[in-house]
Structure formats: C-alpha cells, structure tokens
Structure 1
Amino acid sequence: MGAAVVTALPSVDARAAASPSVDLQPYASYWYPDSLPSGTPGPGITWRSLKEWRAEDDVDLAFNTASVPLARRFAPVPVNRTARRGQARIQALVSFEHTAGNPSQGAATADYYALSHWAYLDELVFWGGSAGEGLILAPNAPVVDAAHRNGVPVLGTVFLPPTAWGGDLRWTRDLVRRDALGQFPLAAKLVEVATAYGFDGWFVNAETDGGDAALGADMLAFVRELKRRGAAAGLRITWYDAMAVDGSVGWQGALNGRNQDFFRGADAMFVDFRWSPASLRASGELAERLGRDRYELWAGVDVEAHGWDSSVDWDAIVPRDRAHVVSYGLYRPEWTRGHLPEGRTPGQFHAADDRFWTGRSLDPSQPDTDGWRAPATVVADRSTVDRLPFATSFNTGHGLRWYERGRVASGAEWNHLGLQDRLPGRRWVVRSAGRRPAVSFDFDDAWRGGSSLLVDGDFDAPATVELYATRLPLSPSTVVELTHRADEGAVTVELAVALREPTRPGDPVPYTYVPAGRLRAGRAGWTTASLRLNGLAGTARSLGVRLTAKGRARWRLGALAVRESGATAPAAPARLRVTGSASGAEGTSLRFAWRRAPGPVRHYELHRVLPGGSRRFLGGTCGNAFFVPALKPEGGERSARFEIRAVDELYSASAPAFTVHSW
C-alpha cells in the first residue's frame, strides 16, 4: 500500500487505492518486538516490527487514535452495605476480538462485547496476542474512548507466550535489547505508541521460559525504564506474575522474593491464578512492608470458561467480615457474550452482562449472597456525571438500527463502542412497595443511537428507578429534559432529584419528585418534557424517575438531558475529503478525513446524502477519520455526496461539511 501525507494525516495514495487488491479497512495495531517469525503469515495477518514503527508512516494512525480524555470520577455512598470504598479494586482482561483482523472503528454487526459496567472497573487490559499474529497489541480507539468517558484507563498488552504456545526467547531478547548508551529503545517505542494512540500504558506478560539471570536482570531494568518513561507521559505499567528475577518462568501465585522487584518496578502486578488464601495474605502484607498499597495487587479470577458459575474462593480476596485482602483481575469477562448461542441478540447479551456484574437479583441494592460474588456486591460504583451539560440516549454502543429523533436513519446493524453513552452505573435499582417492574436496555426502538431504556411491569404501586449518581450544579436556569413514550397502558412520570446522599450505605436515596406528565400508549409517540426544578438549588446528587400506573404498563425513556438554558449548536468541522478509495465485488470502500471543529465535540457523524435529499447514517467516530466499506451508486447517480457534522454533549449537531465522490 502506498502512502502520502495530507496535512498531518497519513493517507492512502489515491493511485494505489484504486487497485482492487488494496484493503483499505483499518485494523487495531499489533507487532512483534523486532524479528518476525519464519515462514508466511496466515490470511488476514500482517507481520510488523515495533522497532520499525514510526507514527509518520502509520497510514492507519488516525483511525486508531483515541480522542476522549480520561474523565475524573467520584464514588457516591454505596447502594448496599457490602460494597466498599477505598479497598479492593477490579481489573478486567478482555479480548474484544482476535489479535489480527480487529476493525479499528467497529463493524456492521450488533453481535459485539459492548462492555458498559465501567462503574466497577479501575483498569481495563486490551488482552490478546499470539505467536502467529503478533505479541504487542494497541487498544483500538472505540474501546479507549468509551472507557475514558467513564474514567477507566486502558492498557495495551505485551505478551511473550509460553514455548508450548509458540513462544520464542528471541522475542524476549528483542524486547529488552539495549542500545549503545545502555538504554532500551523498545521501552521508548512503547511509550511513543501509547502517547500517539491515546491509551494509558502497558500490561507486560513475559511467559517464555528458558531465560537466565542475565535476561532476568535485563527484563527488570527494562520494566524500570518503561515505568520511568511512562510516568513522565502519564502512563501506568502492570506486571504479570510469570517471569522471576532469575529469568526463569515460574508462576508464583503470590508476591514474594522472586517477583517483588518487578512489582516495585511497575505500578501494579497481576497475581497468577495459582494463588491460595495464605499466599494472598502474605502478598498483601509484603506489599505494605515494601511501602506499597496491597490493592495494587490483582489476584487473577478466571471466568473465561464458566462465568458466574466459576469456582472462586472469594473470602481469600474480598471477605465480607473483614478488610479486603487484595484487589482482583477478571480474566475474560466477555464470557457473558461468548457463552450465548449463535443468533444471540444485544438484549440477551446485556441481560447476561447485567447478571454477571450486578448479581442474580439484578438490583445492586438487594445484593445476592450466593456463590457468585458479583462486582456490585464488592466494590463501590463510580460515576463521571459531575458537570453540565449532561445528556444520554441510553445508547450502548451497538444496535440493530441507528435512530435519529425517533426515526430510523440506517437499517444496518452496527457496533462502535466510542459512540456509547454514559450509562446508569447501578443496574437496576428499583424502589417500590409493590411489584418490581423489569428494567433493561431495549433495541426494538430508540430516540437516538441504537437503544433506549425500557421499564416493563404489572404495577400495583409507584416504582422509583434510580438512574445516575451525579454531582450536577443546579441553578434557576437549569433545565432537565425527558424524551419518553408509553408503549402500553397509561403512566404518570415524575423526575426524581436528590440534593443529598443517603446517610449510610444501603439507605434509600432521599428524592424530591418533579411532575413530568402523564403518557398514554398510542397517543403522541415520543414526547419531550422540559422541566424547571421548582426552586431546587444546590447540587443534584442523584437522578431517577418515578412511574405510577395501574396494571400492565410499558414505558420507554429515549433521552435524558440536564443543561443550562440557551445552549447553542457546536461549530462545524471543515475540509471533508476522501483520502482513499478501492473498488471490489461488494462495492467501493472509502476513507474519509476532515479538520476537527473548534470547541468541545463529543463525536462526529458521517451521512450520505441520497438522491432526493434524504440522509443515511454511515457511522460516527470521536476522531477525525473514518472508513466506510461496500458503497454503491443509488438512483442512477454519477457521484455520491457525503456530509460530516460535529455533535456535542447534548447531541446537537453542527452545520455540515460536504464532499463528493465520483463513481
């Protein structure tokens, strides 16, 4: 593939792109440290050397660069008496796709691990790597953007596999090779990659056996230099308990004398699954003797095969009757999607995912006491909803269609985690003296994006659904908007606002209720209620809704926004252009780029303007480049017209920038 530079953006050379053999689809990046395997890579796999990587030569960099800054977050009073603040934390090692062939910006399917329980996570590891594909993985931008919006840092993976899995000690030696000055070029390169791509550090997992004391010393010096360089760039390093300081690989299942120097050289350590209650107790004590926080140790919890049926000695990690021992790392929680049969729907996935993170009760205010100790029962949730404006359309980052203002703007399935909204952290707290309605994300209809919030039940008493823990300043000009609809029955709706938190964990939130109207199924469709808060002043600590109905009712919430009056639309992007095209049997693929809009932008949305003037949604991204596959002429057109708009936090769209592509 040829390369050229358009302003600061690497671009595909248009002459090379005209060839049907060129694959313009950008993928998440992966590398070997330096030397490549012998032989030929398999289909769809590209072998690359990290040593040879240069940002200015990376034609996919704009598609892989995250744009959302890491949000600050706060911990409200826990919703139950078992979850704790300031003790154990949770890490997740997630394989979102294969190492090779992982699209940079989502894909045309709703079947995706759309992780959304960010409220319980402190670190996400973009897990993967294999001897036949590549060993060093940079997270793709949608994952990082979604995590950052919720205050969760994301680490790439450096995986040096066991020899039984094709590992080769030369790759370890490549990684820790020094230059003439005694420094580690690949430590500098890892920091450069993370900084260019916009993620937060590296998870280093050296499991290739056969090393000696000299290699162990080089690895320790490498980790220390990686941490030193990374700290200057705001990065973090997590070490996996595998290689020992003598260069051998022997999983300790503990922090001890064989790996403590690696722990001290990094920011945290993943303790291998071979831990025992005694080894974790000793590990926590040793961490404190070393002057470190015991909760910087992640005890491995393997849920890849059995999910919530996994056998875990929870009391060894997070006992209920005394202080937590260490933190823990969930290995492969995407089981919640993988264990479902083929043909699974987004709704089925989220039902399973809610059970995994919340527990069988599906209400974190009513924690289960069964064998599965769900994260909501262990750690306090966190939130990033602390400033105005705030808006959500309950978009989970995938869907069966794309909706705009309640109408279908694209009938195609899609996923793009970077378009995910900030979603309710507590799924689902419902307070009622009567029967509890079911609460879920629903994909059959939406106001915006791919999903909406559905409350469905047989009501015999008012039900308050808690939605967001917040720190939102209120003033006489504050407006709250609810876009909602009754699908069955008649429902009286009130906005629930709390100006203070509960006194103790587990106590109900002290809400004040603001009338938001009475809706009847089949009457007006989607309705937006704009509410003044009747003199409420101070800081909104929690937002929810109270629903009153008689008998069967289904109520759908499409959007919630809190803003000051007088909001304006964002500024428009500029210079939309096609930077590459390639034609094949399925149609023409295009790469687009544009100049970012000045001022704050949540994301950008690309539409095709069809003959007759209607618009079709093609996709969105937080960055300033996008790829669209398999386009074809429509209605006898000689050229296709495209427009890009900036979208702000209230989902207001800017004026468009246009470009045309001739067929």
Structure 2
Amino acid sequence: MKKRWTGLLLFMFSCLVFAAGAQAAQPHSSYWFPEDLLRWTPQGDKDAEFNRSTIALQERFTGYQVNKHATVEPKVAALSAMNRQTSGVPSQGSEKFDANTFGYWAYVDKLVYWGGSSGEGIIVPPSADVTDAAHKNGVPVLGTVFFPPSVYGGKFEWVKQTIRQNPDGSFPVADKLLEVANYYGFDGWFINQETEGGTTEDAAAMQKFLAYLQAKKPAGMQIMWYDSMTSSGSIDWQNALTDRNQMFLQQGSERRSDSMFLNFWWRSLEPSASKAKSLGRSPYELFTGIDVEAKGYDTKISWNAIFPEGKKAVTSLGIYRPDWAFNSSENQEQFYAKENKFWVGPTGNPANTSGTADWKGIAHYVVEQSPVNDLPFTTNFNTGNGQLFAVSGEVVRTTPWNNRSLQDVLPTWRWIAESKGEALKPSFDFTTAYYGGSSLKLAGTLSPQNATHLKLYKTDLLVEQNTKLSLTFKTQTKHADLKVGLSFADQPEKFVFLDAGGLHPGTWDTQTFNLNPYRGKRIAAISLYADAKQTIPDFSVNIGQFSVYTAKDDPNPVPEVRGLNVKEAEFKDGIYGDARLEWTATERPVRYFEVYRVKPDGSKALLGVTPNRVYYVPMMHRIGPEAQTKLEVVALSADGRRGKAAQTVVTWPAYPKPVAAFAADKTLVAPGQPVTFIDQSSEVTEQRVWSFPGGTPSTSTEKQPVVTYAAEGTYSVTLTAKNSVGDSTVTKEAFITVTRDAAGGVKNLALNKPATADGACGPNEAAAYAFDGKVTGNSKWCALGSGPHWLSVDLGASYTISEFVVKHAEAGGEAAAFNTRDFHIQVSNDGSTWNDAVQVQGNTAAQSKHPIALTKARYVKLTIDKATQGGDTAARIYEFEVNGLAK
C-alpha cells in the first residue's frame, strides 16, 4: 500500500477535540500496542463496557435484483476509516453533527475498521457504534492489526511481540485478539504486516500464529490477511496470490486466513483466481484492491480485469478508503452526493448504471443485499446524526449529535424514482424528524404528468394473520395523493398501492394498513407513490416512519429499567458535570434506552439514546444553584412502546464563588495606545471590578474594558470577581509596560534564528521550519515518539520580550485534533537556567497568543506536555513567534 502513505498519515495522527476538562469521564474506543493488549482486561478497563456492541449480526438476503448487469458471486470488502483518528474516539458518538454516517451497507460484505499508527497504537478494534450500524445491516466488522513501515515509525519488535509463542504452543496475543473481539462483539481481524526486518523464521512464526487463530476462533469470526509479507519474511507486495504469499492464506489442508486483500498494482487476475482454486479456495476469497483514498470515483480502475463483460467476476473487490467521500466533503449534503455517485454511479439510480462514464458505481457490479427479512421492521430514516432529536415528532433536543448505533436500516435503493416526467427528488431532511435526527423527504413540483414512484426497500417479509403496515408522514398540502407500494415475491416488479387517505397539512399523520388480504405472501419490496390531480409547485412530504409488524392483542409489557446508578461523576468549576450511568440488563431485549435530564421545572431534555446498558452523559450545565439533577432512563421496545422509567440523581458540589483571572491583548504599548483587557474569571461571576492605576479609565465594571496610558512606565492591574457566594481578587504587578520604543510595534525576534529540538519527523520538518515565518507548504516542525517534546530558539542576544504566538497544526491546514493541548514556555539568558513564562493546559485553538509582563531573555524554549487532543504523541508546530522590542 505504498502509494497511499501520505493520506494515511493524515488519518493516523488525527483525533477529536474536547473542551478543557470536559473529557474526564468520556469513554473512548480502545487501541493498543502488543504489550498493552496483553495487560488489558475488561475488568481493568473502565471504558470496556461502553465499547461493546449490543446488536447481533443480522442475516441478510439477495432477493431479486433491479440491475441486470450486477452479479451475486463476488463480494465487497471496504477498508474504511470510519473515524478520523485512532485515539480520542468517543465510544458512543459525540456532541457533533459531523460524522461519517456511511449508509450504503447493501453493497458491502465486510467492513474493515481501518486505523492504527506508530504514535497511538497498532491494534484497533472498531468503535461500538460502527459495529452496531454494520450489524443491523448484516455486515460483519473486522478490527485492524497494523504493523507500519519503519519509515512511519514501525518497529519489528511489535511483530515479534505479536507472534511470540509460549512453550505450551499458545500465542498470547492471538488469545487476546480473540478475547477482545468476543467481548466487544465484532467479527474478526484484518492483519496488515508491513514492517521491514523479517526473516524466513519470522514468516513461519506468523503462519503458525494465523493457524492458531483459525483453530481457536469461534464459528463466524473472520481473519483477513493483507498481501505484504512473503515466505522469506520480507515486505514485497505481490499484487496477486502467488507461491510467495499463498501460505498465509492456505497451506495444504490447513486454513491460515479466511480471505486475502491483494495490493493495488495488479494486472491480470486470472492467475490468482486459478491459484486459489488449486488451493481448494474460492477466488471470491481474494479481494482485489483498489485505492480510492485520493480521488474517489475519479480513480482510474481496470474494471474489466475484475468484472469482465459477459463473464463471471474473476475475484471479489477490496476498496481501500471509500471514506474519501466523507473526508473530501465540506458538508453533509456534499458527502451524501459524493457517496451516492461512488456507490450507485453518476445516474444516481442503482437500477440504471449504463452510460459512458468509467466509474459506473459499485451497484453496476454487485447485487444489493438486505437485512429486512423479519418482523417487526421499523425505520425512522435516522442516519445516525442530527442537528436535533425528535421523539414521536416532538423535538426534545436542539443541539447537534451523532451516534451511529442509532442509524436505522436506510433504503436499499438510493434512489429509484420513476416518473413519466421529472421525478420528485428524494433526500434526507435534517430539519424535520419523527424519531431521531432526520426523515425521508420527497420534494419538487408535483403534477399529473410527473407522478413519482419511489422504490425504497428490498424485503423478504411473510404476511401473517394480523400483519400491519403503518406510515407516519407530514406534508404542507392536502391536495396530493400519497400511497404505499408493495410488491410480492411471485411478481417483484408488480406493485399494489395502498392509499394513505386524506392529508392534514403541518401535522404528523399515521395511517395503518391491514395486510390480511395478502396473507401468506412474501413482501419483496416497499415503495412510495405520490400523485396529484393538479399542479403543486412546491410539494414536499416528510416520511417519519415506516413499520411492518404483527399486531398482538396482549403484547408483552416493555421491561422496566432497574438498578440505575451513577457509576462516576466529575465536575468542573462547580457548574459543569458529566456522569457515567449504568443499569441492569433487561430480562427481554429492547431496541433502545432513552436518557433524559429532568429540569428543576419538571420539563425533560433528551441527553441521548443507546442500545447499551451503560451511557456517558456529556458535560451538563448546572441550572442556577440546583443541588441535584435528576436523570431518567426509559426502555423503548422494537414496536415503539416505552416501559416504566427509572430515575437517579447527580449531586452537585457547593455552589462556588468565582475565581478571578484576566489577560490583555498586549502588554507592551506606546503612550496613548489602547489595551484591551479580557476577563477570564470563572463563569459564576456575577459582577467584576477592575482597577487600572495610571490608566484611563482607572476603574471599570465591563467584561472587556479598553484602557490607555498617557505616561511611560510600568503599571499593575487588579480584577475582583464577585457573586452571591463570595469574591476573588487577582493583581498582576508591572503587567503593562508603556514606552515610546513600542510606537513602531513589536517584532518577531525569533524569525530565522538558530533553533534546536528533541527530534524531527524528517529533514523537511526540522526545528528551523518553526521559525521561518511561514505556515503554508507544510512548513512546520514535527517530532515523533513519546513526549514531552521541546523546541528552543537562540535570539542571538538578550531582548525585551512581550508575547509569544504559537501556530499549531490547524494553522497549517491540518485537523484541529492535531492542535497542541498542553505546553509551557520558558526563557533563559544563559541557555541552562530556565524561568517559567507561560503555562497552558487545554488549548484547542489553531493559534494561541500569550502576552507576558516584559521579560529580558536570549533563549526561549517551548515544551510540549501533551502533543494533541487525544493519544497521538507527535508534535506539530507551524510557527513559534517571540515578539518584543528589537533594541
């Protein structure tokens, strides 16, 4: 996979950003080095329960196909970075809308959760929300064991640690890999060994390791091998199944791996297919790799080599980094448009992929598979993220969120909209939802000339006595005709239509249909049909819920939540608190648990929803001086009924008095030049009183007063912060220096000065690049390895310093997750005795500015205590300015 390393490194060293102090109890997805994994136990990892997938792998079927060109035999494996980082991945989603809510599961047979880096960990299980979403759709998920090339920090000792065998024949790391997959509930491992330095003996040990996994793994668990290591132990991508790598797949009668991902530089694939058959293996257990990370659907692929026209597919297909659609998009709308073209093709219709374009979409080659084969089946068209959250059509949360555990089974076909005119446009609407954060919207000009038939779901549902179908929808007109379409297995292309009846503009309507007339038939597809007797220029309808179920006269009661407990709570500044909740597993399965906050006035706000029996409550803001906050959990059944709620409380600490703190936009000014002071006191501050001796004004109660000083000199500043509990005062002596020498402004004293550091990622990322005045063209200092890292500059003489400016990763165009979190700055006159000047904890900004009281120094050192917002230890500083007087 050599040609993809630049993009891969961007993934490796990224992570999510959390506000300072807000992640104390935030559970994160796991990642390990081999020795760390050997020490891991579920009992010793307080995040372990949060990382478990609770949704079983569903069965799915092929059914009838809408695209006659597509075939059934070949499979598709997607190697996708479902999260932008290895470390810092929240276990159950986060408070952000932005997320890779992949939705084309119908075309994927297995998902490899791509991740791992030399700076964080090389053994990476999938995050639980990804496994949950995949399992709902019948797609198994594999974690990644990634041994990177040495140029990117790979160490062969990690390979040695992994394949170490005990005298009793066991492989401790293999046993742990199986334990992790079993406990977390995912489906196996993708093993990618690309670290140089191996021998024939190492290759033989790796083969034994694979054979041991095969012998010990439970039924259904999969091991996928990547075409890299050969029988000699060297890294030599074969781009095929050959005599040099076949032993990692099969050796005689011994199965070593369940499948192999072939590297990208293949030509003819027939020899690989023949080789697989000679080993007694299916050629469809070979996944021919295509690398789409950089160009997505503009990647040039020799499709005919994999899928020869008019013949059977030669091998299966392995897609490396289809998350390109997400990573290259600026917003959700663009992401969905790119993803649709990638999987379905430029026509946007999986039933019609013909055309002259080289990229016809994956739907052109493989038949969609569906998990909709059992009752009840309910979808709310929830994509797994939202700008709001609705329950039964009522908005109970108005802030962004993502949790792919909540993603519904989305339409099988996106989109087959048939019309004699211009069809209505289907889409997901994030402004309107019935349950969750989105609904299905059908919109456009509707008239008798463009009645639209939208085919949605491939199904295999037996209609029994009392089987019913319900449709919940909202529209702004009463003049349209809306129908539900059903086709049956005996004639899947022939639909019968059920009239939704009269429309009531502006409200959610639910129409229930009795399917007894079709008893004994199997529903093969579900669709929508919209028509009108007259033209409606701005027609739209939102479909909030589809449900097919068997009505019961006396359904089982929904289980009551029991044993609800605040397992852990942490507080910040006395007014912010997060908590970990746990409760006893219910005696019968439920679909979800809803978690609410009960406010002092008795109203409720939804905090989140989970299928698990544990939940992390993100930072809550205390409402006034409330002493306790009630939290409530209620179970939701598969058919939408709720059980009896359970409540617990979070007890707040005593309401705090404020802590006074402030900064200034500059500390060195000329006479008459304004200085803006910034109140940084704790949030509970109700009043503030400033004192500026020698300044104009001399006092203030504003939050950001602007002050001028007429005479040269040094001036102290005092701030008192008050509330009903008490007050706090802070004084900074000689904080502001006023001199005519500052009339021309300050100068970057460190520009192009000699610099040293504890290390560098390479010659083009050495210390000097942090002092060259540029942030473009990847001009930065970078250092790998465990911290703390440090960067030092010699100004050449002793200068008067007034401020420091640090330009972090985001300033150079990298992800905000790379921004330095904790660091301190020291100054010295001799290079050996250092004095502290600045201490920063919890930075998230791309550029941080640090004015200080005037200080004379020749040497300045930046020490990085926490390099990023997560577990990555690589330092990245694009520019470090030392500003002051040049004379």
So what's the TM-score if we normalise by structure 2? 0.68
What's the CA shift string for 1:421-451, capped at 9, x where partnerless? 1111111112222221111111111111000
**Shift of residue 366, structure 1, vs aligned partner:** 1.5
Alpha-carbon distance, 1:351 to partner: 2.5
Give the Å deviation of 1:148: 0.6
Q: Secondary structure at the match of 1:55?
A: coil
In structure 1, the residue corresponding to 2:186 is in which secondary structure? Answer: coil
Q: Is the 8 A contact 1:514 1:533 kept in 2?
A: no
Partner of 2:510: 528
Corresponding position of 1:40: none
Q: Choose between structure 1 and 2 for higher RCO, CA contacts under 8 A separated by at least 6 residues.
A: 1
Larger deviation: 241-250 or 428-437?
Answer: 428-437
Which one of the candidate residues 251, 266, 278 is aligned to 2:257?
Answer: 266
For residue 95 of structure 1, report the CA deviation from its aligned partner. Answer: 4.0
2:280 equivalent to 1:291: yes
**Residue 294 to residue 501, structure 1, CA distance change in 2 (3 Å):** farther
Shift of 1:612: 2.1
Does the 8 A contact of 1:93 with 1:329 survive in 2? no
Are positions 1:649 and 2:649 aligned together?
Answer: no
Q: How does 1:388-467 map to 2 (within 5 A)?
A: 388-459=375-446, 460-467=449-456
The answer as to 2:199 corresponding to 1:212 is yes
Which of 338, 341, 354 is residue 355 of structure 1 equivalent to?
341
CA distance change for structure 1 residues 97 and 21 in 2, over 3 Å: closer, same or farther?
closer
Residue 620 (structure 1) shift: 1.4
- Which of 520, 524, 528 is residue 541 of structure 1 equivalent to? 524
Identical residues among aligned pairs (%): 36
* 3-state SS in 2 of match to 1:448: coil
Determine helix, strand or coil for the equivalent of 1:164: helix
Q: 1:256 aligns with which of 242, 251, 263?
A: 242
What secondary structure is seen at the aligned counterpart in 1 of 2:476?
strand
Deviation readout 1:327-353 (Å, 9 max, x if unpaired): 111111111111113xx1x33322222
Residue of structure 2 in register with 1:326 after alignment: 315
Q: Tell me the residue number matched to 1:31.
A: 32
Correspondent of 1:316 among 297, 305, 320: 305
Q: Distance in 2 between matches of 1:90 and 1:181?
A: 35
CA contact (8 A) 2:467 2:516 kept: no
Partner of 1:109: 96
Q: Does 1:573 align with 2:594?
A: no
Specify the alignment match of 1:557 in structure 2.
543
Describe the shift of the 1:94–1:82 C-alpha distance in structure 2 as closer, same or farther (beyond 3 A): farther
Of the three residues 40, 60, 66, the one matched with 1:79 is 66
CA spacing shift, 1:336–1:488, aligned 2, 3 Å:
farther
Deviation at 1:476, TM superposition (A): 4.1
Q: Is 2:625 the counterpart of 1:629?
A: no
1:479-511 per-position Cα deviation (integer Å, ceiling 9, x unaligned) = 211110113573211111112255xxxxx7211
| Structure showing greater Rg | 2
Match of 1:188 among 161, 169, 175: 175
Task: Write out per-residue CA displacement over residues 289-328 of structure 1, whole angstroms, 9 at most, x where no aligned residue.
Answer: 1111101111111111111111111111122321111111
- Give the equivalent residue in structure 2 for 1:302: 291
- 1:384-438 Cα offsets, whole Å, 9 max, x none, are 1111111110001011111112121111100000001111111111222222111
2:461 corresponds in structure 1 to 472
Given candidates 347, 351, 366, the residue that maps to 1:365 is 351
Aligned to 2:472: 483
Q: Distance in 1 between matches of 2:121 and 2:286?
A: 27
Residue 760 of structure 2 is matched in structure 1 by none
- Asked whether the equivalents of residues 363 and 429 of structure 1 are also in contact (C-alpha less than 8 Å), the reply is yes
CA distance in 2, matches of 1:474, 1:428: 26
SS at match of 1:273: coil
Q: 1:579 to 1:88 in 2, by over 3 A?
A: closer
Provide closer, same or farther for how the CA distance between residues 248 and 498 of structure 1 changes in structure 2, counting only shifts above 3 A. Answer: same
Bigger mean CA deviation after superposition, 391-400 or 614-623:
614-623
Check the 8 A contact 1:129/1:157 in 2, yes or no.
yes
Confirm or deny: 8 A CA contact 1:472 1:540 kept in the other structure.
yes
Counterpart Cα distance in 2 of 1:268 and 1:488:
54
> Offset of 1:475 from its aligned partner?
2.9
Helix, strand or coil at the partner of 2:518:
coil
1:43 corresponds in structure 2 to none
Q: In 2 relative to 1, CA 475–20 (structure 1 residues): closer, same or farther, beyond 3 Å? A: closer
Classify the secondary structure of the residue corresponding to 1:541: strand
Candidates 500, 507, 510, aligned match of 1:516: 500
Q: Is the 8 A contact 1:154 1:200 kept in 2?
A: yes
**Partners in 1 of 2:490 and 2:431 — Cα distance?**
35
Unaligned runs of 5+ in 1: 1-18, 35-48, 503-507
CA contact (8 A) 1:220 1:245 kept: no
Distance 2:306 2:219 in 1: 32
Name the SS of the counterpart of 1:510 in structure 2: strand
Deviating more after overlay: 450-459 vs 429-438? 429-438
What SS does structure 2 have at the residue aligned with 1:449?
A: coil
3-state SS of the aligned residue for 1:519?
coil
Deviation at 1:462, TM superposition (A): 2.2
TM-score by length of 1: 0.90
454-463 or 62-71, which deviates more: 454-463
State whether residues 155 and 202 of structure 1, in contact with CA within 8 Å, keep that contact through their aligned partners in structure 2.
yes
> Hey, what's the Cα distance between the residues in 2 that align with 1:651 and 1:214?
58
When residues 487 and 319 of structure 1 are mapped into structure 2, their CA distance, relative to the original with a 3 A threshold, is farther
Deviates more, 1:301-310 or 1:626-635: 626-635
Gap change, CA 1:568 and 1:481, over 3 Å in 2: farther
1:596 is aligned to 2:596 = no
* C-alpha separation in 2, matches of 1:643 and 1:124: 35
Q: Which residue of 2 aligns with 1:236?
A: 222
> What is the root-mean-square deviation in Å for CA atoms of aligned residues?
1.7
- Distance of 1:619 and 1:144 partners within structure 2: 18
Three-state SS of the structure 2 residue aligned to 1:145 is: helix
Q: AA paired with 2:482?
A: V
SS at 1:328 equivalent: strand
Are 1:91 and 2:73 an aligned pair? no
- The residue type paired with residue 334 of structure 2 is Q
What whole-Å deviation, never above 9, does each CA across 1:520-551 have from its counterpart, x for those lacking one? 6xx35111111123612222111111111243
Query: How far apart, CA to CA, are the structure 1 residues paired with 2:476 and 2:237?
Result: 56
Distance 1:446 1:486 in 2: 12
Larger deviation, residues 361-370 vs 55-64: 361-370
Please state whether the residue corresponding to 2:349 is helix, strand or coil. Answer: coil
**3-state DSSP class of the match of 2:34?**
coil
Distance in 1 between the 2:311 and 2:21 partners? 64
Q: Which residue of 2 aligns with 1:41?
A: none
Partner of residue 751, structure 2: none
Task: Give the match's secondary structure for 1:261.
Answer: helix
Residue pair 1:360, 1:368 contacting (<8 A) in 2 also: no
Name the SS for the 1:395 alignment partner: coil
Give the secondary-structure state (helix, strand or coil) at the position aligned to 1:54: coil
The answer to whether the Cα contact below 8 Å between 1:155 and 1:199 also exists between their aligned partners in 2 is yes
Among candidates 102, 124, 131, match of residue 137 of structure 1: 124
Q: Given that residues 501 and 509 in structure 1 are in contact (C-alpha distance below 8 angstroms), is that contact kept between their aligned partners in structure 2?
A: no
Query: Which residue matches 1:3?
Result: none
CA distance in 2, matches of 1:80, 1:235: 31
Who is 1:4 aligned against?
Answer: none
Give the whole-Å Cα distance in 1 for the aligned partners of 2:364 and 2:478: 35
- The whole-number CA distance in structure 2 between the counterparts of 1:21 and 1:80 is 50
